[in-house]
Structure 1
């Protein structure tokens, strides 16, 4: 099994399109105002947004986008005017990450885990 698609809700899908394009995702399906789909710049996964009343959506969505260099990506995004909710942190689970929120307050983490994403030192042995 391979996770290849995640869909999140947004009140204003068009506003979210601009936000996620600014992060570097490529728009591949445009059914505004109700739905859009993006390709991620690396790998085969896709990401979509559907129109919904997010004022009642308190489901705690967190999106993780892994990059090779958190510092480089953050510098590029700050140059585009992207605001972050935290500074870059070296987490105890061996990931380097920074947090931000999309227009609907969905949490986003830009991070680098490398081998520690699937093979941390505490991984359960087969």
Structure 2
């Protein structure tokens, strides 16, 4: 089994398209204003955005995007006008993370974990 597709809700799909293009995703399906789908620059995963009348309440979902050159990626995104709620920071769980929100308030975490993502020192067998 593989996770290959995540879909996020959006009030304004066109605004989300601009945001996710700035992040470096490639638009592959455009049924605006109702639905769009992106492929990620690395791997085989896709991310779609679908229009909703109202965003879900509560904490919602957090999407993680891993990049081996996290600090450089964050600098490039800041130059494109992307704002972060947390700049790259080393976490106690051995990941380096930067936090941001998409135009609809969906939480995104750009991170670098390397081997610690699936094999932290405290991994159970």
Q: Flag whether TM exceeds 0.5 (same fold).
A: yes
Matched position secondary structure for 1:16:
helix
Matched position secondary structure for 1:76:
helix
Report the counterpart of residue 18 of structure 2 in structure 1. Answer: 18
Unpaired segments ≥5 residues, structure 2 = none
Shift of 1:18: 0.2
Report the counterpart of residue 42 of structure 2 in structure 1. Answer: 42
Report the counterpart of residue 95 of structure 2 in structure 1. Answer: 95
Q: Is the 8 A contact 1:10 1:49 kept in 2?
A: yes
Shift of 1:35: 0.3
Q: Distance in 1 between matches of 2:64 and 2:56?
A: 23
Please, what is the CA RMSD of the aligned residues?
Answer: 1.0
User: Could you state the TM-score of these two structures normalised by the residue count of structure 2?
Assistant: 0.96
Q: Is the 8 A contact 1:54 1:104 kept in 2?
A: no
Task: Output aligned runs, 1:1-126, within 5 Å.
Answer: 1-125=1-125
Q: Could you say if the C-alpha distance between residues 13 and 23 of structure 1 is closer, same or farther in structure 2, counting changes exceeding 3 Å?
A: same
User: Could you state the TM-score of these two structures normalised by the residue count of structure 1?
Assistant: 0.95
Matched position secondary structure for 1:14:
helix
Q: Is the 8 A contact 2:96 2:113 kept in 1?
A: yes
Shift of 1:54: 3.5
Q: Could you say if the C-alpha distance between residues 92 and 54 of structure 1 is closer, same or farther in structure 2, counting changes exceeding 3 Å?
A: farther
